[in-house]
């Protein structure tokens, strides 16, 4: 998820294949969300979709593509970890920007902006802050917030609302990288994507190279992402989100993958933060149901909880 500066003219829409102490984390899923599904990962995504005004189907599809819905997933080619495969820098940046607004203020309070970007103020806490990537609720909230950031930046760069595959492109290239990719795609779709994005290509070979090792063109990469995102979004039938208050049903998987807030509502809520309590208490709460789904993720979060408690947080 490397990011960059948005540059270049606004490209036109590229035709795609298918038209279509504050608490460590936010409040637990609502009773309505719990009734919809007993799967803690899906409940976490549903809650994050509601609180960040991001389309549930898109967030669930993203988690499927990134980790196969495995909260303990870890990439072999980068620092990416967790349900949404946040690399370390992107996680810290997003948590620094949105953590306090989304109930992760205690974790965000550990962060400082330094000369080289966002840093954990107390180095002894770095592992614990990064371990939150394996907490489905924390990861889902930050993924929703990042999706809204990327949507806003791409909308400005493109002069239109981005489509779902374009937003997913921004997830692992960053909004700036996605903007450059789409500009290059518009001007020369046949050029090698790996030659323009060497570092992302080395970490995502299955996207940038064919099975035989031949580099894919920009057009081929976009078509592949389009197909993957569309297929993932069309298979999200496990939860009937019409039963979860505050999440509207999209009429198209492509046109309304990000919910638009009411004119007077902020993109991200700022007034639904719980009363102060220790980080360790919130992290302990996040263990409910996670160990049954993914023992490795549960043990990882439990270890982080023990260290946080030792620090009195």
**195 lies in some domain:** no
Residue 271 or residue 214, greater confidence: 214
Q: What is d(CA 20, CA 251) in angstroms, rounded to the nearest whole number?
A: 9
**293 lies in some domain:** yes
Which H/E stretch holds residue 218? Answer: helix 218-234
Provide the number of structural domains found in the chain. 1
Categorize the per-residue pLDDT at 77 as very low, low, confident or very high, splitting at 50, 70 and 90: confident
pLDDT at 189 over 80: yes
Q: Helices 164-187 and 136-158 sit at what angle, rounded to 10 degrees? A: 40
Across 86-196, the runs of DSSP E, i.e. the strands, are 111-114, 117-120
In percent, the amount of the chain with pLDDT more than 90 equals 59
- Determine the structural domain holding residue 48 and report its residue range: 31-156+238-310
The b/e string for 82-121 (b: 16+ C-beta within 10 A; e otherwise) is: bbbbbbbebbbbbbbbbbbbbbbbbbbbbbeeeeeebbbe
Q: What is d(CA 294, CA 234) in angstroms, rounded to the nearest whole number?
A: 25
**196 lies in some domain:** no
**186 lies in some domain:** no
Sign of CA dihedral 56, 61, 64, 67: negative
Residues 112-127 pLDDT 10s: 999 999 999 999 999 9
Q: What is d(CA 306, CA 280) in angstroms, rounded to the nearest whole number?
A: 7
Residue carrying the six token digits 């309505």: 32
Give the CATH number, domain containing residue 276.
1.10.530
**149 lies in some domain:** yes
**188 lies in some domain:** no
* Contacts of residue 67, Cβ cutoff 8 Å, sequence gap at least 6: 73, 82, 83, 84, 85
CB contact at 8 A, 274 and 103: yes
Q: What is the DSSP code (8-state) at residue 275?
A: P
Q: What is d(CA 247, CA 245) in angstroms, rounded to the nearest whole number?
A: 6
pLDDT at 284 over 60: no
Q: What is d(CA 134, CA 140) in angstroms, rounded to the nearest whole number?
A: 10
Residues 244-254 pLDDT 10s: 333 333 323 22
Mean confidence (pLDDT) of the chain: 75
Categorize the per-residue pLDDT at 223 as very low, low, confident or very high, splitting at 50, 70 and 90: very high
Question: What is the reported pTM?
Answer: 0.68
Q: Helices 88-98 and 136-158 sit at what angle, rounded to 10 degrees? A: 90
**214 lies in some domain:** no
The pLDDT value recorded for residue 309 is: 55
Residues 190-212 pLDDT 10s: 999 999 999 999 989 999 999 99
């Amino acid at each position: 998820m490397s990011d960059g500066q948005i540059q270049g003219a606004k490209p036109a829409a590229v035709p795609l294949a298918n038209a279509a102490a504050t608490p460590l984390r936010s409040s637990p899923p609502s009773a309505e969300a719990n009734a919809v599904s007993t799967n803690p990962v899906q409940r976490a995504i549903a809650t994050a979709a509601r609180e960040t005004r991001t389309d549930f189907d898109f967030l669930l599809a993203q988690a499927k593509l990134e980790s196969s819905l495995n909260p303990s997933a870890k990439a072999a080619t980068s620092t990416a970890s967790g349900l949404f495969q946040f690399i370390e820098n992107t996680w810290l940046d997003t948590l620094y920007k949105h953590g306090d607004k989304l109930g992760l203020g205690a974790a965000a309070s550990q962060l400082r902006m330094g000369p080289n970007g966002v840093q954990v103020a107390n180095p002894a806490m770095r592992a614990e802050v990064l371990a939150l990537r394996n907490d489905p609720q924390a990861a889902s909230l930050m993924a929703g917030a990042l999706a809204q950031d990327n949507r806003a930046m791409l909308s400005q760069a493109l002069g239109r609302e981005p489509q779902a595959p374009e937003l997913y492109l921004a997830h692992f290239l960053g909004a700036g990288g996605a903007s450059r990719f789409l500009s290059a795609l518009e001007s020369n779709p046949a050029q090698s994507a790996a030659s323009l994005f060497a570092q992302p290509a080395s970490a995502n070979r299955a996207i940038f190279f064919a099975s035989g090792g031949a580099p894919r063109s920009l057009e081929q990469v976009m078509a592949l992402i389009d197909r993957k995102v569309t297929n993932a979004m069309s298979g999200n039938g496990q939860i009937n989100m019409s039963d979860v208050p505050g999440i509207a049903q999209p009429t198209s998987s492509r046109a309304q993958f990000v919910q638009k807030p009411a004119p007077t509502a902020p993109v991200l809520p700022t007034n639904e933060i719980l009363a102060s309590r220790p980080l360790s208490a919130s992290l302990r709460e996040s263990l409910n149901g996670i160990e049954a789904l993914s023992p490795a993720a549960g043990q990882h979060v439990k270890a982080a909880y023990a260290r946080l408690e030792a620090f009195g947080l």
